[in-house]
Every structure is written in structure tokens, then in C-alpha cells.
């Protein structure tokens, strides 16, 4: 698994094992917008790679360069060893893309939209299979796309991305506008794709969507890469620990919790004792010590540091998006990096 043992990124790996690589990638808009700042990123073949960051962090701009929608101000991007700008066709023949801020042909039916993509890619896919795979109703597929809901449109766009069973599948905020079933479907498609040795590059501003499916994640903030690791690795690196909350009959006068190994912080409020611990084993010790100190424990609650805490720790405390996939739909409007 690439997640456990990513190949060395010292430049000696051959192109076959690298799906996407950016080197010193920089994109400037005008004089004062630096959308992407000297980004070095390596995505290995066969992994599901999460590309995380708040809105405006530069995620879509990075994907725009990889897809040659925009040209880098400096640096370069390659896909499967092909330069994104110089060998665009070779890249596009092996990549499937669900872009940010995309549109479809509203006057054509879903099926016609899909047939057009298949014809242009020259892959001869079975359109009904694709429609099936993304869970689009086959009656809906014969209606004009202009009447589609956001979720149906998103499923159709996903089907277009899957045309030709691409070696690299790039999904830019794929869950926006999807209901929970749709979000699950995106994960299943990503997993299924990776299980067959293909690569998935999955961008999102919602950590929980990426966490469930990605082998590794990169966190981007204000155009700069701030972390690349597995979710577990990120957790360990930040050492955010967990919080034990005890409800007691009465807080003992002499509370000796501070002496327990692994306890970082203790807060007392009325009949509640809140203890932050860095080590898992300290949780039970905390409960035992409170009882030894003479209190009866009425209730215990344990909270792992949330993924959102993790996310905001990396992105300089900018408040994370706590909403579900619906919030992602609204954020489509303010595209990344002055786009």
C-alpha cells in the first residue's frame, strides 16, 4: 500500500510509479494574487490522494494547471510522466476529470452529453454501463440536462470523468451538491478505481470526506503545501490527543489529577471535570484518580480530537467548514485563487 510505504521521493523513482508530480509550481494572477506558491507534490500510481484546504487555498488552480486550463507562472506539472502543458493530449487521453465550476450541455440529454465525451475520447465505452455506475436513473438520462438537479448533474459529470476508465481520476470537490448516498457513491467509485491499480486525486475542503477514503492527504493553505501524510500520521504529528469529560457528584477539594502521567490540562466547572490527555492509557488512570480523590463518577464522555481541529491546526486556525456536503455546493461560487 502506498499509504504505508510511499516510494522514496528523491527523484529516483521512474515515471511509471508517479501519477502526478508538480515541481516548484507557482501561479500568479496579476500582480497581487499568488494562487499557488512553489508547490512540490508527488502522487503515486495506485493511491487515493486527498487534496485538502479551505476555499481559496489554491486547490482548483493546481488542478487547472495539471489539466492545462491555466498556464503556470513558474514550475511545472507532469501526469504519468507527460508534461501537462507540452503533452496535453497524452495527458488527457489517460486522465478523467471532474472539474471545479464545470457546466454541461443543457439542451442535450444526459445520454447525448455522455456519448459526446465517449466519441471525443474515442474509447467506445458502453454509455448505459457508465450511467449505471454513477447511479443515474436511465429515464433521467434521456431528459435534457437543463432540468437536472445539482446531484443528477454531478453524477453525470462523474460519468464523463469515468469515460475510458482513466489511469488517473481527478475529482475536484466531487461531493458538492450530492446527498449522503451520492457522497458514499463517490467514495465507492474512488475505492473501486484504486483497487484496480488506478490513481485517484480527490480535492475537498471538507476533511471528513477525504479521511474516509484517502491513503494520503496533502493540506494546502494560501497556495502553500503545509502537510503531506496519512491521516493517522497527521494526527500523531500534531499530538492533539483527546479529552475526557467526567460528571461527578461533587468535585473533590483535593484534586490530584495533575500528578497523573499523560495529563496535559485540567479544567473544573461546577460538577464537570474536563481533562485533556496526550496518551490513550491515561484515560482510565484519570477516572481512577478522580474516584481515589473521593468523588463518585456519574458519567464519562471521551472525545478524540476532531478532524476539524486537526485541519484548522494546519491551516492557521481558519475556521473549518463543519457543514456537510451541502455547504460545498455554495462554495463552488468562490472558486480558488482568484479564479
Residue ranges that bind another protein, judged by CB under 8 A: 29, 60-61, 64, 67-71, 88-89, 92-93, 95-97, 99, 101-107, 116-117, 119-123, 157, 160, 163, 335, 339
Q: Closer to another protein by CB, 70 or 214: give it.
A: 70
Separation CA 335–CA 111 (nearest Å):
28
Least Cα distance to 202 among 76, 16, 53 occurs for 53
* Nearest distance in Å: CB 82, another protein: 13
* Nearest distance in Å: CB 55, another protein: 14
Strands (E), the chain: 18-29, 33-44, 48-52, 74-79, 82-83, 95-98, 168-172, 199-204, 216-221, 224-229, 242-248, 263-269, 272-277, 297-304
Strands (E), 56-128: 74-79, 82-83, 95-98
* Nearest distance in Å: CB 25, another protein: 14
Q: Closer to another protein by CB, 121 or 224: give it.
A: 121
* Nearest distance in Å: CB 4, another protein: 32
Q: Closer to another protein by CB, 88 or 240: give it.
A: 88
* Nearest distance in Å: CB 339, another protein: 4
**Cβ pair 220, 195 in contact under 8 A:** no
Least Cα distance to 279 among 310, 237, 307, 241 occurs for 241
Q: Closer to another protein by CB, 37 or 64: give it.
A: 64
* Nearest distance in Å: CB 198, another protein: 17
Question: Which residue is associated with the grid cell 491551516?
Answer: 315
Cβ neighbours of 295 (radius 10 Å): 19
Q: Closer to another protein by CB, 60 or 230: give it.
A: 60
* Nearest distance in Å: CB 317, another protein: 28
Question: Residue 36 is placed in which grid cell?
Answer: 499557488
For residue 172, the cross-strand partners are: 203
Q: Closer to another protein by CB, 107 or 322: give it.
A: 107
In the three-class reduction of DSSP (H, G, I as helix; E, B as strand; rest coil), residue 1 is classed as coil
Distances (CA, A) of 309 to 205, 251, 279: 14, 29, 17
* Nearest distance in Å: CB 272, another protein: 50
Q: Closer to another protein by CB, 73 or 272: give it.
A: 73
Q: Closer to another protein by CB, 97 or 246: give it.
A: 97
Separation CA 148–CA 170 (nearest Å):
23
Long-range Cβ pairs for the range 27-30 (8 Å, 24+)? 27/58, 27/61, 27/62, 27/64, 27/65, 27/70, 27/72, 27/73, 27/337, 28/73, 29/337, 29/338, 29/339, 30/338
Amino acid at each position: 500500500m502506498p499509504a504505508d510505504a510511499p516510494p522514496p521521493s528523491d527523484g529516483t523513482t521512474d515515471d511509471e510509479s508517479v501519477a502526478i508530480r508538480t515541481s516548484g509550481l507557482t501561479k500568479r494572477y496579476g500582480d497581487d494574487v499568488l494562487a499557488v506558491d512553489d508547490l512540490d507534490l508527488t502522487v503515486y500510481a495506485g493511491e487515493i490522494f486527498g487534496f485538502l484546504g479551505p476555499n481559496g487555498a489554491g486547490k482548483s488552480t493546481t488542478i487547472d494547471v495539471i489539466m492545462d486550463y491555466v498556464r503556470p507562472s513558474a514550475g511545472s506539472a507532469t501526469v504519468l510522466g507527460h508534461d501537462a502543458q507540452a503533452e496535453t493530449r497524452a495527458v488527457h487521453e489517460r486522465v478523467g476529470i471532474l472539474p471545479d465550476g464545470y457546466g454541461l450541455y443543457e439542451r442535450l440529454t444526459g445520454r447525448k452529453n455522455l456519448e459526446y465525451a465517449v466519441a471525443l475520447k474515442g474509447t467506445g465505452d458502453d454509455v448505459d454501463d457508465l450511467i449505471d455506475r454513477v447511479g443515474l436513473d436511465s429515464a433521467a438520462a434521456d431528459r435534457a440536462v437543463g432540468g437536472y438537479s445539482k446531484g443528477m448533474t454531478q453524477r453525470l459529470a462523474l460519468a464523463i470523468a469515468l469515460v475510458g476508465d482513466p489511469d488517473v481520476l481527478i475529482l475536484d470537490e466531487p461531493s458538492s451538491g450530492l446527498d449522503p448516498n451520492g457522497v458514499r457513491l463517490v467514495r465507492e467509485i474512488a475505492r473501486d478505481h484504486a483497487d484496480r491499480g488506478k490513481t485517484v486525486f480527490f480535492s475537498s475542503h471538507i476533511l471528513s470526506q477525504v479521511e474516509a477514503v484517502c491513503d494520503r492527504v496533502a493540506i494546502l493553505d494560501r497556495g502553500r503545501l503545509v502537510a503531506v501524510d496519512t491521516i493517522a500520521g497527521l494526527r500523531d504529528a500534531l499530538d492533539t490527543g483527546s479529552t475526557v469529560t467526567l460528571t461527578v457528584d461533587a468535585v473533590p477539594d483535593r484534586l490530584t489529577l495533575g500528578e497523573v502521567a499523560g495529563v496535559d490540562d485540567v479544567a473544573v466547572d461546577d460538577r464537570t471535570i474536563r481533562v485533556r490527555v496526550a496518551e490513550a492509557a491515561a484515560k482510565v488512570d484519570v477516572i481512577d484518580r478522580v474516584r481515589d480523590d473521593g468523588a463518585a463518577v456519574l458519567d464519562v464522555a471521551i472525545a478524540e480530537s476532531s478532524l476539524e481541529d486537526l485541519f484548522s491546526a494546519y491551516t492557521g486556525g481558519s475556521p473549518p467548514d463543519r457543514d456537510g456536503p451541502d455547504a460545498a455546493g455554495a462554495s463552488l461560487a468562490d472558486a480558488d485563487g482568484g479564479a
